[in-house]
């Protein structure tokens, strides 16, 4: 039976310098996914890499998956495993489901409610799907997260105002300089 896990390095724990070190460029995504899938422990995966987070979503059959994922991230980006640990968040089972829903809805974003993450998550999902890197469990997880995010945006006022880091910076500048 496969389990769900997410390893995250994001704006909540990691400074920009660390987030930049663990980021995956577009050309690095396919080799990273292929490398993850080549391990016995990982059955399916999606890699999300944005300016504020790098996250690895997997289904797995192993007891040490947190260590496997953290070591992968560290070795892939030339970082000491022990120094990366303090910046890593790990979620499994129901916590993983809650986390991906929060991310998709923009509730875990630097700017609460920003909608860009939804599109970025959909792109990461589609990229893995195109590579054949998904299983039924991850497929259902992402579909659930997308439905939940849409419901949050339509049933709450979180999507009623334009929000992004750039938008907030412009508004703050207007207040300071006018």
**pLDDT for the residue 43:** 97
3-state secondary structure of 42: strand
Query: For position 78, which CATH number holds?
Result: 3.30.460.30
Predicted local distance difference test score (pLDDT) of residue 156: 72
Confidence (pTM): 0.85
Q: What is the pLDDT of residues 95-138, one digit of tens each?
A: 999 999 988 888 777 666 677 888 899 999 999 999 999 999 99
Q: What is residue 18's predicted lDDT score, i.e. its pLDDT?
A: 96
| Full residue range of the structural domain in which residue 24 is found | 3-177
101, 150 in Cβ contact below 8 A? no
Distance between CA atoms of residues 31 and 149, nearest Å: 29
Residue 2: band (very low, low, confident or very high) from pLDDT cuts 50, 70, 90: confident
Q: Grade residue 149 by pLDDT with cuts at 50, 70 and 90.
A: confident
- DSSP helix/strand/coil, 106: coil
Per the prediction, the chain carries an average pLDDT of: 88
Provide the annotated active-site residues. Answer: 51
Top pLDDT among 15 and 159 is at 15
Domain count, the chain: 1
- Does the pLDDT value for residue 83 go beyond 70? yes
Q: Which of 9-23, 60-74, 87-101, 153-167 has the least mean pLDDT?
A: 153-167
Residues 9 and 103 sit within 8 Å (Cβ to Cβ): no
């Amino acid at each position: 039976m496969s389990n769900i896990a997410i390893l995250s390095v994001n704006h909540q724990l990691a400074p920009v310098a660390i987030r930049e070190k663990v980021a995956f460029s577009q050309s690095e995504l396919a080799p990273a996914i292929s490398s993850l899938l080549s391990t016995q422990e990982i059955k399916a995966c999606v890699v999300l890499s944005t300016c504020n987070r790098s996250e690895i979503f997997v289904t797995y059959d192993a007891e040490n998956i947190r260590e496997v994922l953290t070591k992968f991230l560290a070795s892939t980006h030339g970082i000491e495993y022990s120094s990366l640990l303090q910046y890593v968040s790990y979620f499994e089972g129901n916590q993983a489901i809650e986390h991906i829903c929060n991310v998709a809805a923009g509730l875990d974003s630097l700017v609460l409610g920003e909608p860009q993450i939804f599109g970025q998550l959909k792109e990461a999902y589609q990229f893995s799907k195109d590579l054949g890197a998904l299983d039924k469990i991850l497929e259902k997880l992402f579909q659930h997260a997308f439905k939940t995010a849409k419901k949050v945006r339509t049933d709450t006022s979180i999507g009623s105002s334009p929000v992004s880091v750039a938008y907030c910076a412009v508004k703050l500048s207007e207040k300071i300089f006018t």
